[in-house]
Amino acid sequence: MADTLRIVHCFRSPVGGIFRHVRDLTEAQVAAGHSVGIVCDSTTGGDFEEGLFENMKDSLALGIHRTPMQRHVGPGDLASAWRTFRIIKELRPDVLHGHGAKGGTYARLFGSLLRVSRSRVARLYSPHGGSLHYDETTTTGKLFFALERSMARFTDCLLFVSDYERRIYRKKVGEPPIPNRLVYNGLRAAEFEPVRTERNAADLLYIGMMRDLKGPDIFIDALVLAGARLGRPLKAVMVGDGDDLPRYHAQVKRLGLDGHVRFLPPMPARSAFALAELVVVPSRAEAMPYIVLETLAAGKSMIATAVGGIPEIFGAGSLALIWPDPHELGDRVSEALADPKAYRRLMPDAADLKARFGADVMAAEIEKAYFAALGRRH
Cα-Cα-Cα-Cα dihedral sign, residues 149, 153, 158, 163? positive
Question: Closest by alpha carbon to 96, among 105, 149, 32, 360?
Answer: 105
How many degrees, rounded to 5, is the angle at CA 65 between CA 186 and CA 21? 10
Residue type present at position 195: V
Kindly report the pTM of this predicted structure: 0.84
The rounded Cα 210 to chain-centroid distance in angstroms is 14
The model's pLDDT over 244-301, given as tens digits with 9 standing for 90+, comes to 999 999 999 999 999 999 999 999 999 999 999 999 999 999 888 999 999 999 999 9
The model's pLDDT over 113-127, given as tens digits with 9 standing for 90+, comes to 999 877 789 999 999
Q: What are the backbone dihedrals phi and psi of residue 218, each rounded to the nearest 5 degrees, phi first?
A: -65, -45
Greatest pairwise CA separation for the chain in angstroms: 70
Q: What SS3 state is found at 289?
A: coil
The rounded Cα 105 to chain-centroid distance in angstroms is 18
Based on C-alpha coordinates, what's the Rg of the chain? 21
Burial track 336-359 (b if 16+ CB lie within 10 A, e otherwise): bbeeeeebeebbbeeeebbeebbb
Strands (E), the chain: 6-11, 35-40, 63-66, 95-99, 122-126, 157-160, 180-182, 202-207, 236-239, 261-264, 276-281, 301-305, 321-322
Q: Output the tens digit of pLDDT for each of the chain's 378 residues.
A: 458 999 999 999 998 889 999 999 999 999 999 999 999 999 988 898 999 999 999 999 999 999 998 776 666 678 889 999 999 999 999 999 999 989 999 999 999 999 987 778 999 999 987 778 788 888 888 988 998 999 999 999 999 999 999 999 999 999 999 999 999 999 999 999 999 999 999 999 999 999 999 999 999 999 999 999 999 999 999 999 999 999 999 999 999 999 999 999 999 999 999 999 999 999 999 888 999 999 999 999 999 999 999 999 998 889 999 999 999 999 999 999 999 999 999 999 989 999 999 999 999 999 999 999 998 765
What are the distances in angstroms from CA 91 to CA 9, 61, 83?
11, 10, 13
The pLDDT of residue 1: 45
